[in-house]
Amino acid sequence: MEKRYERVIIEGVDAELRGYFTKEDRQVLVAGTATGDEVDVAITSVSQHHPLAYAEVVNVHQRGENFQQPSCRHAAPIRGRCGGCPAMHLAPSTRDQIQLRAANEALEPLGVNVTWHSAPQQREYRNRSNFVAHRRSQEVILGSYAPRSQHVAAMRDCLVVRPAIMDLHRRTEDILTALKAPVDGEEEALRWVSMRESDGDVVVELVVRDADAQWIVQAADDLFALENVVGVGVSVNDRETNAIRVARTNIIRGKGTLQERYGQIDLQIPPGAFAQLNVDVASRIYNRAAQWTSAGPSDAPVVWDLYCGIGALGLNAVAGHGSAETARIWGVESAEEAVVAARQNAALSEVSAEFDIADLVDPDVVQALQPPEALSTPDVILVNPPRRGLSQPVRDRLCDDWTAQTLIYMSCDPKTFLRDATALQKAGWTLEEVEAHDMLPITAHVELLARFTR
Ligand SMILES: C[S@@+](CC[C@H](N)C(=O)[O-])C[C@H]1O[C@@H](n2cnc3c(N)ncnc32)[C@H](O)[C@@H]1O
């Protein structure tokens, strides 16, 4: 395909919320455009493996009716270079329609009609943010990587992260600049700063190349002196990897655990443990799982919670049943600190629960998994795996011998959900309903909640 400028009309917007037009049987993707936009574009790359190409806008003749000017001055590619909110140029109702259509198309082979649940809040919803550290002129900036680039985009005044974090973000940049903290490829560099907030309290984590670097002591003191900072932690990452946190967090000032209410349950969240970023939307999903759990015939359901993390989904699912004498949970998770927190969270909610640490990817481990005897016949099985979906051993056991009246699957990736749901349907599970939730508004991310029966 020849790479030259041309004038095109954007035909539609794909599941990743990128505008596209068709040329020589290829879909050419143009970030930051909406259906009906009339623009000059330059083709930037052509895929060798798929009928796809990429282009960028070089001139705008006319915007279509679905376009809106992004409200954030950093939003790429129209106003700035931050790619965190790639669909800020589309109105919320347009995004909702596109995402519902995309979810239905993606799950069409399952023969189910997906329902869409938009987010109550489009701004200030993120309770955690990871900022990459970078020096620009003499200043340390805490930003984000620009799309498909190593350029670090500024994030001051980000509109989707909670205000308490963004207030500290600015102060942290000032502290790190004053300290001349090493960043980028420098020795003993700071690589990332991660902040998690609950109820105004913030834990700040420095991800560094070397935990013994001298500057860390002063940075920790200065950060801990800031209003709202209740803890400062350090974790080491000296690997050449895209992963941010590869080691446990050492809390060096204050405390590392925050408490946040998700659904019906107050949860202790230790540093490094997984917790959903959007509390309102996650709470809706957890409450829905609770409704589905209570709809079953048992007054005292036994619930399995696989990939349980700190117990958020499982504890909420039984919240309607309340007390230690009724519902009971068996949870499995690989991260030790999450399991410790899950046990604490169950005790605080007075739910009788047992949690095991196990790697659900390992076939031998999964084969040998044994729930406590009293919990060996679940009424409801909950699964909430990471993006890669169910591991093959877990999928196999759900198809072969793990059974329950209801299986509730919470998924952050429609592709792996489709693979798993197809296998489950073949094995005799009936897919009754699928909800799609806008967990991370203004992005293409969709969180699915599905109910199967047997
Ligand atoms: C999407 S989170 C779900 C957490 C929890 N259900 C919740 O609602 O917060 C996925 C969880 O799977 C865990 N996980 C990832 N790989 C795993 C593995 N190989 N074995 C067991 N758990 C794993 C992660 O640590 C994480 O807690």
DSSP letter for each residue of 8-60 = EE--EE-TTS-EEEEETTEEEEETT--TT-EEEEEEEEE-SSSSEEEEEEEEE
Task: Answer whether residue 11 shows pLDDT above 70.
Answer: yes
Residues with CB under 6 A from ligand 1: 274-276, 307-309, 312-313, 333-335, 338, 359-361, 384-386
pTM value is: 0.95
For the question of residue 72 being annotated catalytic, the response is: no
- Domains, the chain, in order of start with CATH, read 5-67 (2.40.50.140), 128-256 (2.40.50.1070), 261-453 (3.40.50.150)
Each residue's pLDDT tens digit, 173-203 = 999 999 999 999 899 999 999 999 999 999 9
Q: What is the pLDDT of residues 314-353, one digit of tens each?
A: 999 998 765 545 669 999 999 999 999 999 999 999 999 9
pLDDT of residue 50: 95
- Helix or strand or coil: residue 118? coil
Q: Measured in angstroms, how far is the CA atom of residue 271 from the centroid of ligand 1?
A: 15
Q: Is 120 left (phi over 0), alpha (psi -120 to 50) or beta?
A: alpha
Instruction: Determine the atom of ligand 1 nearest the C-alpha atom of 385.
Output: 10
Q: Is residue 135 within 8 Å of residue 73, measured between CB atoms? A: no
Q: Which atom of ligand 1 is nearest to the CA of 307?
A: 12
pLDDT value of residue 341: 97
Please tell me the distance between residue 295's alpha carbon and the centre of ligand 1 in angstroms.
Answer: 26
> Catalytic: which of 82, 85, 399, 412?
412
**Which atom of ligand 1 is least distant from the CA of 359?**
20
Gap from CA of 342 to ligand 1 centroid (Å): 12
pLDDT at 93 over 90: yes
The tokens describing 396, both together, are: 């196999």
Provide the sign of the torsion angle of the four alpha carbons 239, 47, 421, 423, taken in this order: negative
pLDDT over 70 at 132, yes or no? yes
